[in-house]
Amino acid sequence: MIDISHYLDDCKFILVSNREPYEHMRGVHGIEVKQPAGGLVSALDPTMRRTHGTWVAWGSGTADRDVADEAGRVAVPPGEECYTVRRVWLDEADVNGYYHGFANRALWPLCHMLIQHFEYRTEFWERYRTVNLRFAHAVADEAERCTGRAMAWIQDYHFALAAEYLRAMRPTLFIHQFWHIPFPPADILRMLPAGTHEAVLRGLLGNDLMEFQIDRYAVNFLDCVDRFIPEARVDHDRQCVHFRDRIVHVGAFPISIDVDRFEEMASAPGACTLCETLRERYAKGTRQLGVCVDRIDYTKGIPERIRALETLWNESPNMRERFTFIFVCTPSRTDLPAYNALEREVTQNVIRINATFGTDDWTPIVLINENVDSDLLAAVFRAADLCIVSSLQDGMNLVAKEFVASQLDERGVLILSRFTGSAEEIEGAVLINPFNVDGFMGGIRTALEMSPEERRRRMHRMRKQLHNSTIFDWLDSILGRSTEIMASQRALTAVG
User: What's the confidence (pLDDT) of residue 183?
Assistant: 98
First and final C-alpha spacing in the chain: 40
User: What's the confidence (pLDDT) of residue 152?
Assistant: 98
What is the per-residue burial (b if ≥16 Cβ within 10 Å, else e) of 354-393?
eeebeeeeebbbbbeeeeeebbebbbbbbbbbbbbbbbbb
**Model-level pTM?**
0.95
For residue range 261-300, list pLDDT tens digits in order.
Answer: 999 999 999 999 999 999 999 998 999 999 999 999 999 9
CA distances from 307 to 302, 350, 425, 432, 458 (A): 9, 10, 27, 14, 27
Residue 217 shares a structural domain with residue 235: yes
User: What's the confidence (pLDDT) of residue 39?
Assistant: 63
The CATH number given to whatever domain includes residue 321 is 3.40.50.2000
Residue 358 shares a structural domain with residue 428: yes
User: What's the confidence (pLDDT) of residue 206?
Assistant: 98
User: What's the confidence (pLDDT) of residue 38?
Assistant: 66
Residue 152 shares a structural domain with residue 295: no
3-state secondary structure of 412: coil
User: What's the confidence (pLDDT) of residue 336?
Assistant: 81
User: What's the confidence (pLDDT) of residue 36?
Assistant: 76
Residues in contact with 266: Cβ distance below 8 Å, sequence separation at least 6, in sequence order: 275, 378, 379, 381, 382, 405, 406, 407, 408
177, 210 Cβ separation under 8 angstroms: yes
User: What's the confidence (pLDDT) of residue 496?
Assistant: 62
Residue 213 shares a structural domain with residue 313: no
Residue 213 shares a structural domain with residue 306: no
User: What's the confidence (pLDDT) of residue 47?
Assistant: 81
Residue 393 shares a structural domain with residue 406: yes
* DSSP, res 420: B
Residue 222 shares a structural domain with residue 348: no
Angle at CA of residue 178, ends 172 and 182, nearest 5°:
140
Tally DSSP H helices, then E strands, for the chain.
18, 18
Q: Which residues of the chain have pLDDT under 70?
A: 1-2, 37-39, 496
| Number of compact structural domains in the chain | 2
Residue 30 shares a structural domain with residue 155: yes
Burial of residue 215, with CB atoms counted within 10 A of its CB: 0-12 exposed, 13-18 middle, 19 or more buried: middle
Residue 163 shares a structural domain with residue 265: no
Residue 464 shares a structural domain with residue 476: no
Phi-psi region of 285 (alpha: psi -120 to 50; beta: other; left: phi over 0): left
Domain that holds residue 402: 261-468
Residue 370 shares a structural domain with residue 440: yes
Residue 25 shares a structural domain with residue 166: yes
User: What's the confidence (pLDDT) of residue 493?
Assistant: 79
